[in-house]
Amino acid sequence: MSGKDFTGKVAFVTGAGNGIGRATAVAFAKAGANVALADIDILGCQDAAKEIQQDGGKCLSIGCDVTKETDIRDALDETLKTFGSLDIAFNNAGAYQKIAPLADFGEEDWHRIMDVNVTSTFLCMRNQIPIMLERGGGCIVNTSSGAGVIANKGGAIYGAAKHAVLGLTRSAALDYATKNIRINAVCPGVVISNLTRTISGDTLEGLAALAAMEPIGRLGQPEEIASAVLWLCSKDAGFTIGHGLVVDGGYTIG
């Protein structure tokens, strides 16, 4: 049996309406998991769910604002009610900032970026872990970033948030290492998504400029990050905890 066979498992994915979250939800479903897709963009979730269902997969679409703990609890309750378990959580929802020097931002910018990226990860894990403990274990992957590994000019708040996600992941992994709950992070480089299309102005020239940031000479595909997440949640990664798996086309070492 393949290490990436998730038949009978239940996966909960935030930010599942597009990009990395959507690709990962689809990948889990193709690998046999029942998948709960959670996103503030419920239409995006529903569209992703149609793709899964057309391939014969089982899934659930849930509108969820990950900055609100009540939304997270309701989404997890709905997942348990529908599928009866929670084996895997991919806490992927996030928000970016415009490129600008730190002093150009206000306190509201700080709170928005930190809430969507860091506080949401804390709130998700805070509610997922007790469920997994009750069921004897599970796997959690959080989305950090290449910006959580190195510094980027003009990206202070986002960088602080993604560094924080990595620190949160590592410490939590030690807390539950003996409880059969493995917690890791994935650190993507620049990946094709709605966000990169917005940043680039959705032009060929803009996308080429982003691709030029990658030593590999191209943007990443969401499916490439999804593959890394599935590996982290597989039995093949059973000795891997507290790791920030960098999948970035060489960005952080270039």
Catalytic residue set: 158
Q: Which residue has the tokens 């410490």?
A: 171
Q: Are the C-beta atoms of residues 91 and 184 closer than 8 Å to each other?
A: no
Number of neighbours of residue 56 by Cβ within 10 angstroms: 8
Which tokens hold the place of 32? 């046999």
Number of neighbours of residue 238 by Cβ within 10 angstroms: 10
Q: Are the C-beta atoms of residues 146 and 252 closer than 8 Å to each other?
A: yes
Please list, in sequence order, all residues whose beta carbon lies within 8 angstroms of the beta carbon of residue 186, skipping any fewer than 6 positions away: 141, 142, 143, 144, 225, 228, 229, 232, 244, 245, 247
Rounded Cα distance between 37 and 53, Å, is: 12
Rounded Cα distance between 240 and 177, Å, is: 10
Helices (H), the chain: 19-30, 42-54, 69-83, 107-114, 120-135, 156-175, 194-200, 204-211, 222-233
Burial class, 127, CB count within 10 angstroms (exposed 0-12 / middle 13-18 / buried 19+): middle
Please list, in sequence order, all residues whose beta carbon lies within 8 angstroms of the beta carbon of residue 199, skipping any fewer than 6 positions away: 96, 206, 210
